[in-house]
Chains A and B, each alone.
Chain A
């Protein structure tokens, strides 16, 4: 054994290698989309269905939209896009659970690669996948009457916000997958947790129209902050924003920061302590 080999790699070297390893893993995950494009197509069914259902079934029955320029569809689309970012992150949980089941996680954990890179790579590839889904959903939105009304920078800001939400939820989902482990249970756990969270928010409807005891819950739901901010970026000021833009940006950022600060280290810890 040479003396060089005995030295522990420096922090910088390890950080660089972690980044590099994450890219290798992300690339591997993205190959699935190339090899089995049907998976991506199926994943598109749900958001498209939501857009169409809410646009054509619910739209006429949802009150309080007269003040929104363009009506309900303009209100709905940014919310649906935030919802998709969160639903789209469940593939992180499913992907990790599948790798656990197939034994690939054992292989990765026995390699000299940086351990967090397996999770970071998954979060990165899902971010790219969710970006593709986002563009398609925006396209569908345009087909059913939605349009951006706050300029190009506004639209860009919305996309950045939505991607940040998606990335954050990937780490929440990674934690769920590593805690629950069994594929079927992971699927159930991921969706059961997310559904009430998304529906008791301003993603799809106004908070003011909810039952009184749900309103405070919905107002403080991080998804409400994100949906309202996304809405502002997409269409500008609208009634029911629930505060100034600065207020929305602050709380959106705080929630993203808090969730990342909890779930990134937690999932990495669960991963390295897997049995």
Chain B
């Protein structure tokens, strides 16, 4: 790999007795979108806060764009942008004023700050709302304004902490497009997400993080490969279940398994999916067993997560005990 633009070694951070980050190692190549995937409480936010100089690590080292996040924080801040977990915009300022203020705090001239603010509003489809106070914005607009604010400084490295949490599907797609565009322009992005689909869609590489440590790293494909190729899934009527499993034995790359309750049969097929599918249909037809449905199932990051952590991502989210800084009422309002 080329020299990494973000590199952490043995990053550790505790809050009182809670060890939020227990030794995170990351290496992010310039110009890529890198995903930190994990449930709430996994240590994603703490890691991002260390990398954006909001928190000092207890142990370990982190270098972003050539600057040590502790020693060179003053030099690092001008070249990074942060879109935090919730839209950090001033409700009493207009969209334009919010962005101009951020521009001024990046120490741009008044004219330059205004120009960049207008460009960002244009690009994020907020030009028409430029002179309305942010209070009147919808959840999606606020989030776009917040991401926009993180771009005013034209950062080399952009950190986004769950950028689409609480957004409706349309706003989410809009934001995904923006992220892809930013990457095309050469920005390096580090993206925290608890949505497996999001990481799958956007990220060149993914670190799966759970309980403060990285438990797997690779491309989406590599991670899926770790749990062993495709699976053929089919349903048959209960009375045919036993006979169907007998018929299918030896067809796939492993033994078929059956679930009596759901009447689901799963056959691991490795990379021979289509051939096994055809053969299965032919043989069950010959045996006179009607197939209710049948599909090749490519493993999702959900499967990866389950097999890596032993628990599903969604369950872990509910069990999270990480302090949730988002004001509850506001979050719920945004969700609607």
Q: Using CB atoms and an 8 Å cutoff, list the residues of chain A in contact with chain B.
A: 1, 5-6, 8-9, 17, 20-21, 24-25, 28, 31-32, 35-36, 101-104, 106-113, 273-275
Contact = CB atoms under 8 A, between A and B. Distances in A.
Residue in A25, A107, A108, A273 whose Cβ sees the most chain B Cβ within 10 Å:
A107
Contacts of B65: 1
Contacts of A6: 75
Contact of B53 (A32, A101, A104, A110): A110
Sorted nearest first, the 8 A-B pairs with minimum C-beta distance are A103-B88, A113-B105, A112-B77, A112-B78, A107-B88, A110-B82, A35-B92, A111-B105
A274 B54 contact: yes
A110 B77 contact: yes
A106 B54 contact: yes
Interface stretch (B96-104, B233-241, B253-261): B96-104
Contact of B84 (A1, A103, A111, A274): A103
B86 interface: yes
Given A1-B66, A9-B74, A36-B92, A28 B54 contact: no
A12 to B, nearest CB: 15
B18 to A, nearest CB: 11
A113 B77 CA distance: 8
Q: How large is the interface on B (under 10, 10 to 19, 20 to 34, 35 or more residues)?
A: 35 or more
A104 B74 contact: no
B299 to A, nearest CB: 36
A112 B107 contact: yes
10 contacts: A1-B65, A24-B105, A103-B87, A106-B54, A111-B77, A111-B105, A112-B106, A112-B107, A113-B105, A113-B107
Contacts of A103: 84-88, 325
A112 B74 contact: yes
Contacts of A17: 107
A107 B15 contact: no
A250 to B, nearest CB: 40
Given A9-B74, A112-B78, A275 B15 contact: yes
B53 A35 contact: no
Contacts of B80: 110
B55 A275 contact: yes
B88 A106 contact: yes
A32 B92 contact: yes
Contacts of A110: 52-54, 77, 80-82
A204 B134 CA distance: 43
Contact of A107 (B84, B92, B97): B84
Given A31-B92, A32-B92, A274-B54, A24 B74 contact: no
B310 interface: no
A1 B90 CA distance: 33
B149 interface: yes
B227 interface: no
Contact of A31 (B52, B97, B104): B97
A25 B93 CA distance: 12
Given A103-B87, A110-B77, A275-B55, 20 more contacts: A20-B107, A21-B104, A24-B101, A28-B90, A28-B97, A28-B101, A101-B325, A101-B327, A102-B86, A102-B327, A103-B84, A103-B86, A103-B325, A108-B105, A110-B53, A111-B106, A112-B78, A113-B106, A113-B107, A274-B54
A147 to B, nearest CB: 38
A106 B92 contact: no
Nearest to A275: B55
B73 to A, nearest CB: 10
Contacts of B92: 31-32, 35-36
Interface string B39-75: 0000000000100111110000000011000000011
A28 B77 contact: no
A112 B150 CA distance: 12
Contacts of B54: 106, 109-110, 274
B133 interface: yes
A113 B73 CA distance: 11
A24 B104 contact: yes
Residue in A17, A35, A103 whose Cβ sees the most chain B Cβ within 10 Å:
A103
A21 B105 contact: yes
